[in-house]
Structure 1
Amino acid sequence: MEALDLRAEELAAAVGARPFLLLALLLTGTVGVLLGLVAVARLSERHARALWVRAVRAYRAAAEHPVTQRYPWVARVLHELSAAEYLVIHLGLGLALTVAALVFVALANAVSGGASIVQVDLALARALHTSSSSAGVAALRAFTHLGSGWALTVLAIVVAAVLLKRRQRVLAVGWLIALAGGGLLNWTLKALFARPRPLFDEPLAVARGWSFPSGHSMGTFVTFGMLSYLALLFLPTLRARLAFAAFALGWTVAMGFSRMYLGVHYLSDVLAGFAAGSVWLAVCISGIEVARRRPGRVDGRPLQG
């Protein structure tokens, strides 16, 4: 185990000595995840029709079961959602929420318990600091400001105004709750874990507050995750939706990388920010979808007039 930990630290140091190789690896992994999701979606579309029919029947049976009828609010929610909507949206989001929550808990336990990831964090942080360049620092200092609280607040106001202009009140309220709630959740988690930030004799950047999880990473993940959700609703073609999703994932990964490069967060802080952001994003989108399909709405859109 000690030999494995040592190899992990050496690998972290080697990758940190080539910072933009690390960024390329992160982006490659992100694109791989996106392509994997597309492949799964296509395979499911081609081969899962029989399973889908059975799942829809099971859902309808559950909605009409006498036990369900004893709880009017449960029966009402089930009947307000079609089987397809429930299975795709809520089971999918529930799976994402569960996986992300498990990842966050694992990272939190590892960091709190002083597991080997802490040494990997330190080795990677030192290597990134040593290999930094003045041009890289200047570029990422400018870029990282786009993930700050004030920048995301401005974006939140602009998007909310556009949604209200289009009479999408539920989406506007959900959008604002997602961003504001994500910020509050991040502040709470930071206070709960109270992990100090990386320390260097000559820091490249200075940030206040606790380190775990990364606020920039979590805030950007929630913001661009919500933007991808809106793109899924409003962009007309699958190609446009996938292009925006790829851009959103790339932007989010680059934001997390900037926090590590500038030495204000560890790798585990950034990963925990993404995981916590995934949990909150799944909750928000699921809630918005339920609200959009309440009585008095057609196909998830407000009735006109």
Structure 2
Amino acid sequence: MTPRPSRLLTLRSHRRSFLPALLLGVGLPLAVVAFLAQHFAFGGGLGFERGLSETLRGVRTPTGDGVARALDRLGDGWLVLPLAAVIAGVLFRVRRPLGWFVLATVGGAALLHTALRAVVDRPRPVLEGALLSETGAGFPSGHVVFSAALVLALAAVLWPTRARWVVLVLGTLWVVAMGWARVYAGVHHAADVVAALLLSLGWGLAMIAVFRPEHVLER
């Protein structure tokens, strides 16, 4: 069956508008991550980071310490990644493409995070009296990468439903809180958190463009 001319014009119009949005949503965040990675790989830094970390250390409270410790446990890859695998397993039984989408989004972001840490090897902050102590490279923040990728994947899967707003609002608050906690606890620089957010955003939008999960539940 030959598509009607009006439908062909609509498809072409959507493609023309989709490509710039894809380049902006995927290319720009990943380009910023690449720039920061190169900057830090050669020993560079950002002047405001230490001052921000010191400021947060100066306003620490018992409640804030408790929240940061809790988020440290809840955002760990040993918890988030298995959770993503379980969600993907459930989705395989509902709509197989959605399961693959969640695995590709969260798993791919995790692999990129691991590769960047090995290549950039940026030291973590050295702060007297830091709330938490962690070893190894710190760029980008794994807690933020895993959390942001999972939230983005769930929002995309639920996009045809009203539940997407619950995921977007609560998920955004969760990821922002996670980023705050990592800097507050003294285990990450601010740029580690920003790069983690951008990495998950860019990679997640790329996977949305490939899998188009928002249309799967409509089939």
Q: Shorter-chain-normalised TM-score: which range?
A: 0.7 to 0.9
Which of 20, 24, 28 aligns to 1:99? It is 28
The one-letter amino acid paired with 2:86 is V
Matched, 1:225 2:152: yes
Which of 117, 127, 130 aligns to 1:190? It is 117
Task: Give me the TM-score of the superposition, normalised by structure 2.
Answer: 0.85
Partner of 1:216: 143
For residues 126-166 of structure 1, the C-alpha deviation after alignment (integer angstroms, 9 at most, x for no partner) is: 22123212321122111222211121123213312321232
Shift of 1:90: 5.4
Partner of 1:258: 181
How far apart in 2 are the matches of 1:165 and 1:88? 34
Q: RCO (CA 8 Å, sep 6+): is it higher in 1 or 2? A: 2
How far apart in 1 are the matches of 2:56 and 2:38? 25
Q: Which moved more, 1:259-268 or 1:213-222?
A: 213-222
Partner of 2:3: none
Pairs within 5 Å for 1:247-286: 247-286=170-209
Shift of 1:91: 4.6
Partner of 2:105: 178
Unpaired stretches in structure 2, ≥5 consecutive residues: 1-5
Partner of 2:89: 161
**Residue 136 of structure 1 aligns to a residue in which SS?**
helix
Partner of 2:46: 118
Partner of 1:245: 168
**Residue 138 of structure 2 aligns to a residue in which SS?**
coil
Unpaired stretches in structure 1, ≥5 consecutive residues: 1-53, 61-82, 294-298
How far apart in 2 are the matches of 1:259 and 1:268? 11
Identity %: 28
The one-letter amino acid paired with 1:156 is A
Name the larger-Rg structure: 1
Partner of 1:138: 66
How far apart in 2 are the matches of 1:110 and 1:179? 26
Q: 1:241 to 1:58 in 2, by over 3 A?
A: closer
Q: 1:169 to 1:302 in 2, by over 3 A?
A: farther
How far apart in 1 are the matches of 2:176 and 2:102? 21
The answer on whether the counterparts of 1:111 and 1:118 sit within 8 Å (CA) in structure 2 is no
The one-letter amino acid paired with 2:195 is A
How far apart in 2 are the matches of 1:143 and 1:176? 23
Task: Give me the TM-score of the superposition, normalised by structure 1.
Answer: 0.62
The one-letter amino acid paired with 1:218 is V
Backbone CA RMSD of aligned residues: 2.9
The one-letter amino acid paired with 1:173 is W
Shift of 1:302: 9.4
The answer on whether the counterparts of 1:213 and 1:269 sit within 8 Å (CA) in structure 2 is yes
Q: 1:232 to 1:89 in 2, by over 3 A?
A: farther
The answer on whether the counterparts of 2:41 and 2:121 sit within 8 Å (CA) in structure 1 is no
Shift of 1:200: 2.4
How far apart in 2 are the matches of 1:273 and 1:118? 16
How far apart in 2 are the matches of 1:89 and 1:244? 24
The answer on whether the counterparts of 1:94 and 1:282 sit within 8 Å (CA) in structure 2 is no
How far apart in 2 are the matches of 1:106 and 1:282? 19
Shift of 1:109: 4.6
Partner of 1:57: 9
For residues 5-46 of structure 1, the C-alpha deviation after alignment (integer angstroms, 9 at most, x for no partner) is: xxxxxxxxxxxxxxxxxxxxxxxxxxxxxxxxxxxxxxxxxx
Shift of 1:288: 1.1
